Homo-oligomer: A and B are copies of this chain.
């Protein structure tokens, strides 16, 4: 399932791949859909996925915090939660998929706003209980308020001050 995405090969140097192609290439780089060197004998694809996914420490609710960091500029765009399914789909597709705790369903980032996130890299911390995504943010807007990032308030003089304005009207994001 989805292995055809890994057959697309590298992007043509000098041409900027379209968004869908970029996501496909990202999934290829993460490589979770292919077992280049099975750890224990000939492993099926499912087992290959399980190997890295089984190392992830989900909490009692089956969730793990996921930080989305802009791959170029390095600033933190947002933090959301993932369950096992959303993490697997993120790696398989190269597009960030979270778990919406409020809506209790998969949240394919950008499904309503169009502001998808192409995942260029994926890291995990020493306790394996936090995921770090290196992303390319489509449209340059990660926050539902229309701002580049969710961390637009800074503690100054004992108050949370808004330090950056919306880039787009949030009313126009969610149709």
For A82, the chain B residues whose CB sits under 8 A away are none
For A173, the chain B residues whose CB sits under 8 A away are none
Question: Within 8 Å of chain B (Cβ to Cβ): is A135?
Answer: no
Copies in the complex: 2
Looking at the assembled complex, report how far the CB atom of A19 sits from the nearest CB atom of chain B, in whole angstroms.
21
For A69, the chain B residues whose CB sits under 8 A away are 76
Contact B155 A126 (CB under 8 A): no
A155 nearest CB neighbor, chain B only:
B122
A positions within 8 Å CB-CB of B: 29-37, 39, 48-49, 51-52, 55, 65, 67, 69, 73-76, 78-79, 91, 121-128, 130, 132, 143-145, 147, 150-160
Contact A123 B154 (CB under 8 A): yes
Docked complex Cα distance between A69 and B31 (Å)? 28
